[in-house]
């Protein structure tokens, strides 16, 4: 468990950003030694869709079934002509949003944030119209995370004055921060510390913004965490999803002491042969889009967490939407707010 920081927040103006780099060279080096494995066998997670859903798919735009107003929903960007909305755990398509993006995250009220190139679009749980659109002073927005202690929204992007934008209360104009690395994904822990992963000098890197601080500190990280992917607090540990290919997909649990970060456990996900996208940990499982490209880009695997191994379930039937090109980008669970 991390110890909460005691520093007071300081006002911040502009910080110089690292130039964005793709990390392809580092990715190639990390992937070279990886091996393969056979895909898991599982039952489709969604039932055949109704004529009404088929009609919605033909027309496009956002829609939502009445049943989506309650319970948990799985949002999958890059599908259903925008973002698929599925009931959870049934995995049945119950709606679709016209908005798509690279990544998605949610807050404790069930609000959903989808990162697009230069903006973040927010929806209420089960809603079909945006309730807010937040502008970024740059583009290529990727990972996002909401601080459960403050409601602040952090977004990784590429800009000239910083590469992380933090919106206080998920509203208004952001404060910009430079992370000292080429950033990929971000995640808040339970005490409001923000962690951002990425690359530095062709090696994987991690940087931390302690709660109440005005600048990021670069950490020392075990390179076995793999290619930077989703960062998320799992209830006990900050986690790092590797975006490796060829059967080397893992979710590492991190122990953090000052600037030193070590791996205390790893969940190995069997059956992923191509490079996956943003995962989501929820209620004893981890969900991962199988691939960014190719035949499995429209499949979602669900594994026991932290056990891992073979997938316990597959979601791969999106009904009429299967006729459209589906390249799932990111996943997040939204839980209906209690009244």
Residue 7: inside a domain: no
* Distance between CA atoms of residues 220 and 307, nearest Å: 27
> What is the predicted pLDDT for the residue at 301?
95
CATH code for position 149: 2.120.10.30
Tens-place pLDDT, residues 219-240: 999 999 999 999 999 999 999 9
Residue pLDDT, tens place only, 75-129: 999 999 899 999 999 999 999 999 999 999 999 999 999 999 999 999 999 999 9
220 belongs to a structural domain = yes
- Tens of each residue's pLDDT in the chain, 339 residues: 443 333 333 333 333 333 333 443 334 433 333 333 333 333 333 334 455 555 555 556 899 999 898 899 999 999 998 999 999 999 999 999 999 999 999 999 999 999 999 999 999 999 999 999 999 999 999 999 999 999 999 999 998 789 999 999 999 999 999 999 999 999 999 999 999 999 999 999 999 999 999 999 999 999 999 999 999 999 999 999 998 876 678 999 999 999 999 999 999 999 888 888 999 999 999 999 988 777 788 899 999 999 999 999 999 988 888 766 678 999 999 999 886
| pLDDT for the residue numbered 296 | 84
Is 15 a member of any domain? no
CA distance 204 to 221: 8
Per-residue burial over 299-319, b = 16 or more CB atoms within 10 Å of its CB, e = otherwise: bbbbbebbebebbebbbbbbb
pLDDT at 87: 96
In contact, 239 and 250? CB cutoff 8 Å: no
18 close to 179: Cβ distance less than 8 angstroms: yes
* Residue 2 maps to a domain: no
Peptide bond preceding 89 in cis form (omega within 30 of 0) = yes
Q: Which pLDDT belongs to residue 130?
A: 97
The first and second tokens of residue 316, run together, are 């791969």
The reported pLDDT for the residue numbered 34 is 33
32 lies in some domain: yes
- Kindly state whether residue 3 falls inside one of the protein's structural domains: no
Q: Does the residue 280 lie in any domain?
A: yes
DSSP state letter for 290? S
In a domain, 8, yes or no: no
| Nearest alpha carbon to residue 291 among 274, 267, 314, 316 | 274
Question: What pLDDT sits at residue 320?
Answer: 80
Which domain covers residue 90, as residue numbers? 24-335
The domain total for the chain is: 1
């Amino acid at each position: 468990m991390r110890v909460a920081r005691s520093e007071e927040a300081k006002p911040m103006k502009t910080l110089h950003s690292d130039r964005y780099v793709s990390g392809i060279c580092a990715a190639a080096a990390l992937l070279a030694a990886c091996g393969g494995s056979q895909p898991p066998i599982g039952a489709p997670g969604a039932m055949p869709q109704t004529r009404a859903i088929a009609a919605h798919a033909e027309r496009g735009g956002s829609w939502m079934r009445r049943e989506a107003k309650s319970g948990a929903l799985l949002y999958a960007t890059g599908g259903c002509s925008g973002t698929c909305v599925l009931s959870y755990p049934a995995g049945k398509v119950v709606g679709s949003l016209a908005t798509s993006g690279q990544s998605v995250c949610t807050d404790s009220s069930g609000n959903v944030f989808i990162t697009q190139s230069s903006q973040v679009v927010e929806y209420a749980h089960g809603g079909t119209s945006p309730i807010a659109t937040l502008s970024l002073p740059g583009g290529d927005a990727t990972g996002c995370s909401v601080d459960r202690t403050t409601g602040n929204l952090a977004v990784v992007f590429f800009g000239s004055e910083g590469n992380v934008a933090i919106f206080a209360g998920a509203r208004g104009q952001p404060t910009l921060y430079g992370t000292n690395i080429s950033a990929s994904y971000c995640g808040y822990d339970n005490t409001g510390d923000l962690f951002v992963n990425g690359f530095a000098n062709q090696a994987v890197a991690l940087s931390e913004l302690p709660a109440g601080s005005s600048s990021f500190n670069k950490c020392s990280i075990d390179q076995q965490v793999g290619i930077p992917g989703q960062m998320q607090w799992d209830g006990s540990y900050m986690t790092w999803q590797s975006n490796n290919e060829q059967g080397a997909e893992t979710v590492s649990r991190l122990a953090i002491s000052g600037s030193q970060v070590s791996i205390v456990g790893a969940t190995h996900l069997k059956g992923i042969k191509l490079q996956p996208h943003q995962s989501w940990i929820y209620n004893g499982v981890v969900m991962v889009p199988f691939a960014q490209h190719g035949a499995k880009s429209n499949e979602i695997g669900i594994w026991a967490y932290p056990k891992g191994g073979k997938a316990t379930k597959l979601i791969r039937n999106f009904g009429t939407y299967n006729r459209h090109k589906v390249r799932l980008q990111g996943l997040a669970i939204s839980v209906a707010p209690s009244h």
